[in-house]
């Protein structure tokens, strides 16, 4: 193969730049030229591209966000848009395309592969919700950002003997909330995947913890569970404890990627180019048991991944 393209799509995640760098550098090392396609699939449809050489990606491994910008592109969902994207990829002389994003972005990669553009997905999302991969790029950085913010909240909550109700990202998946909850010593973690008995798991626990001398509480609420203010109001009504809401929001998506994200992004980006060179198409790169591997996109997205049950049980036990 002579030329490949790289784009970032869907919600951004720390480590996307590190994927771009790894793809460009690996391609360059094997004498393959690389085009950066900007603003996700929109750039493919509109021809918004830049030439990327090994030196164009110097220093970006440490930067959050994505130098290629990202976007959601509704045109890709139409026949005309998809055909235009595939035609442009052929016109640009692309022998392969690496797409860093979430499952929606992989559907786009699958559709392009069917149109004769060999496309490979690399999981980049802070939610860790790509079912065929143990890990998605951005997760560790997002957890660390959340923890740094919550540690600061803890200082002020402790001084006032308040309860902090913190909403973290995760509409459909609670992986981020669970890791963050364990890492900040939350009294309770509300996850989309687990029903809880509010009275028993929160109210009674807070009362019991108070008797044991605990002066403040942190409750982690995954975005998809419901309104954090409702949770705070219910706590206040039931216990009389002053409960304050903090919604971490987009801050979780920013910042310099952690070591784990930089390393995973580099391994996954490298793998994506290697399999393109072997003639692969319609694959998603995954981490399984700390090995980097790949699956057919359809097969990969049909797999299932549950919350880490062991970690959930641990969190319940140590939060007294």
Catalytic residue positions? 127
Q: Is 301 in the site for ligand ATP (CB under 6 A)?
A: no
Q: Is 104 in the site for ligand ATP (CB under 6 A)?
A: yes
CA distance 4 to 96: 5
Number of residues that bind ligand ATP (CB under 6 A): 19
Output the smallest distance, CB 138 to ligand ATP, in A: 9
Give the max Cα distance, the chain: 70
Q: Is 10 in the site for ligand ATP (CB under 6 A)?
A: yes
Nearest CB to ligand ATP, comparing residues 219 and 284: 284
Nearest CB to ligand ATP, comparing residues 225 and 297: 297
Nearest CB to ligand ATP, comparing residues 108 and 269: 108
**Given the rule CB under 6 A, which of 54-62, 104-112, 205-213, 241-249 is the region that contacts ligand ATP?**
104-112
Nearest CB to ligand ATP, comparing residues 98 and 232: 98
Q: Is 77 in the site for ligand ATP (CB under 6 A)?
A: yes
CA distance 28 to 193: 43
Considering only 3, 72, 207, 234, the residue that binds ligand ATP (CB under 6 A) is 72
Considering only 8, 125, 164, 266, the residue that binds ligand ATP (CB under 6 A) is 125
Instruction: Name beta bridge partners: 295.
Output: 284
Sign of dihedral through CA atoms 64, 67, 68, 70?
positive
- Residue 290's alpha-carbon distances to 133, 134, 180, 287, 297, in angstroms, are 10, 8, 21, 6, 20
Give backbone dihedrals phi and psi of 31, rounded to 5 degrees, phi first: 70, 25
Tell whether residue 252 is among the known ligand binding residues. Answer: yes
Q: Is 107 in the site for ligand ATP (CB under 6 A)?
A: yes
Q: Is 66 in the site for ligand ATP (CB under 6 A)?
A: no
Whether the Cβ atoms of residue 100 and residue 122 lie closer than 8 Å to each other: yes
Nearest CB to ligand ATP, comparing residues 72 and 305: 72
Q: Is 102 in the site for ligand ATP (CB under 6 A)?
A: yes
CA distance 43 to 88: 10
**What size, in residues, is the chain?**
320
Spatial CB neighbours of 133, under 8 Å, sequence gap ≥ 6: 123, 284, 285, 286, 287, 288, 300
Q: Which of residues 23-42 bind ligand ATP (CB under 6 A)?
A: 40-41
Nearest CB to ligand ATP, comparing residues 9 and 26: 9
Tell whether residue 268 is among the known ligand binding residues. Answer: no
Q: Which of residues 249-288 bind ligand ATP (CB under 6 A)?
A: none
Considering only 22, 34, 76, 94, the residue that binds ligand ATP (CB under 6 A) is 76
Burial degree of 41 (CB within 10 A; 0-12, 13-18, 19+): buried
Binding positions for ligand ATP, rule: CB under 6 A: 9-11, 40-41, 72-73, 76-77, 101-105, 107-108, 111, 125, 127
Residue ranges for the known binding site for substrate are: 125-127, 162, 169-171, 223, 244, 250-253
Residue ranges for the known binding site for Mg(2+) are: 103
Residue ranges for the known binding site for ADP are: 21-25, 154
């Amino acid at each position: 193969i002579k030329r490949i393209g790289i784009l970032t799509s869907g919600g951004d995640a720390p480590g996307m730049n590190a994927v771009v760098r790894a793809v460009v550098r690996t391609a360059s090392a094997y004498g393959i030229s690389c085009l950066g396609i900007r603003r996700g699939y929109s750039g493919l449809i509109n021809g918004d591209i830049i030439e990327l050489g090994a030196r164009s990606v110097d220093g970006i491994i440490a930067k959050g966000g994505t130098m290629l910008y990202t976007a959601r592109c509704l045109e890709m969902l139409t026949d005309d848009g998809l055909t235009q994207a595939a035609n442009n990829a052929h016109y640009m002389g692309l022998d392969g395309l690496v797409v860093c994003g979430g499952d929606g972005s992989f559907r786009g990669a699958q559709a392009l592969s069917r149109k004769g553009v060999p496309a490979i997905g690399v999981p980049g999302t802070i939610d860790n919700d790509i079912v065929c991969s143990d890990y998605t790029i951005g997760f560790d950085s997002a957890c660390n950002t959340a923890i740094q913010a919550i540690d600061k909240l803890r200082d002020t909550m402790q001084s006032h003997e308040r309860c902090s109700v913190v909403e973290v990202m995760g509409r459909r998946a609670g992986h981020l909330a669970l890791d963050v909850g364990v890492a900040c010593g939350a009294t309770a973690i509300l996850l989309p995947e687990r029903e809880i008995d509010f009275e028993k798991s929160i109210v009674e626990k807070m009362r019991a913890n108070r008797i044991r001398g605990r002066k403040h509480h942190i409750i982690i609420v995954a975005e998809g569970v419901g309104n954090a203010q409702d949770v705070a109001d219910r706590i206040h009504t039931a216990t009389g404890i002053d409960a304050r809401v903090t919604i971490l929001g987009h801050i979780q998506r920013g910042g310099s990627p952690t070591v784990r994200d930089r390393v995973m992004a580099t391994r996954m980006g490298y793998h994506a180019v290697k399999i393109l060179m072997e003639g692969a198409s319609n694959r998603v790169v995954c981490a399984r048991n700390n090995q980097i591997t790949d699956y057919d996109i359809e097969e990969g997205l049909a797999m299932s991944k549950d919350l880490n049950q062991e970690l959930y049980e641990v969190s319940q036990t140590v939060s007294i």
